[in-house]
Amino acid sequence: MKLSEKKGGDFAPHPVTDGPVKAVIVDITPLKKVQSEFGERDVFRVVYETEVTDDDGKRWCIWSRPYTPSLNPKANFRKDLKKILGRDITAAEADEFDTESLINMGVKLIVEHEEGKDDKTYAVLAFIGPDKDKPTLKASGKYTRVKDRPEKTEGGESGGDQGSYRKAPAAKEDEGRSEWQKCKVHIGKHAGVDLGDLPEDAVTALIEKWLPVHEANAKPKADDKRLAAALKEVGELLGIGAEEKEPEADY
């Protein structure tokens, strides 16, 4: 699938991770029409196979939130693509980006659980980032891409050995966002952006540079307190702490 700028089933959710785990992108699903509050639209998902295994040694998979096929800077896919790559796309890539180039790319993920409006527990991606630790995770070969699966039979079942991996349900687009992810950044160059939509380096800069300034403030504002609490939560997930030295305001 080439782009231009111009709910899960009855499976158990991916286990919560204590911190970042290695994963590899194993699928970009075909476009599928779904109904939303904005009407019918085409969406796709990114499927990750992680290093986390079940009791039988089989790897878990987790599906992303649904994305519309857009590279608009405000589109969810553009935001998460920036996290996957660890950079924003170039002008040439914005003209035509082939999502197949993401297959077999190594990433780091943090998985959390959230309760959906349907009272089901969903595995959600609290953090996505490039895997800079070599070697990156290689696909096990047990996952069959959606486009390569036999069509469903009249009974609604599809063929293939899909029991050889663990598929975890992904939350709907309007569900599964932790409170820290929804916290609005109100300072610096990322003002107005949800904390969960920032790349790792920007989050790290806020934790190491801005957080010490906040904690030294005897009368912080309510927005400062909310952001600080969110940063501390994600800092624990990433294993990042505020620097003890005098911070520099480069966030």
CA 177 to chain centre: 10
For 124, half-sphere exposure in the C-beta direction (CA atoms, 13 angstrom radius) is 20
Query: How far apart, in whole angstroms, are the C-alpha atoms of residue 168 and residue 10?
Result: 9
Number of H helices, E strands in the chain: 6, 10
In this structure, are residues 130 and 23 in contact, taking their beta carbons and an 8 Å threshold?
Answer: no
Who wins on pLDDT, 78 or 235? 78
Who wins on pLDDT, 168 or 238? 238
Model pTM above 0.75: no
Residue position matching structure tokens 């994600």: 234
Q: What is the pLDDT of residue 174?
A: 45
Residue 187's closest CA among 235, 225, 160, 145?
A: 225
Give the residue-averaged pLDDT of 183-199.
86
Query: How far apart, in whole angstroms, are the C-alpha atoms of residue 226 and residue 69?
Result: 33
Give whole-number Cα distances, 187 to 201, 215, 220, in Å: 16, 15, 13
| Both tokens assigned to 235 | 């800092």
Residue position matching structure tokens 């912080």: 220
Residue 166 has pLDDT above 60, yes or no: no
In this structure, are residues 99 and 47 in contact, taking their beta carbons and an 8 Å threshold?
Answer: no
Residue 41's pLDDT band, with cuts at 50, 70 and 90, is confident
Q: What residues have CB less than 8 Å from 31, skipping those under 6 apart? A: 1, 42, 43, 44, 69
Who wins on pLDDT, 193 or 246? 193
| Both tokens assigned to 125 | 């991606």
Residue 87 has pLDDT above 80, yes or no: yes
Who wins on pLDDT, 219 or 156? 219
Q: What is the pLDDT of residue 145?
A: 96
Q: What percentage of the chain's residues is helix, strand, coil (to nearest 5)?
A: 25, 25, 50
How large a percentage of the chain has pLDDT more than 90?
45
| Both tokens assigned to 155 | 């009974």
Query: Using CB atoms within 10 A of its CB, is residue 152 exposed (0-12), middle (13-18) or buried (19+)?
Result: exposed
| Both tokens assigned to 157 | 């079942």
Give whole-number Cα distances, 179 to 14, 190, 231, 233, in Å: 20, 18, 11, 10
Q: What is the pLDDT of residue 165?
A: 47
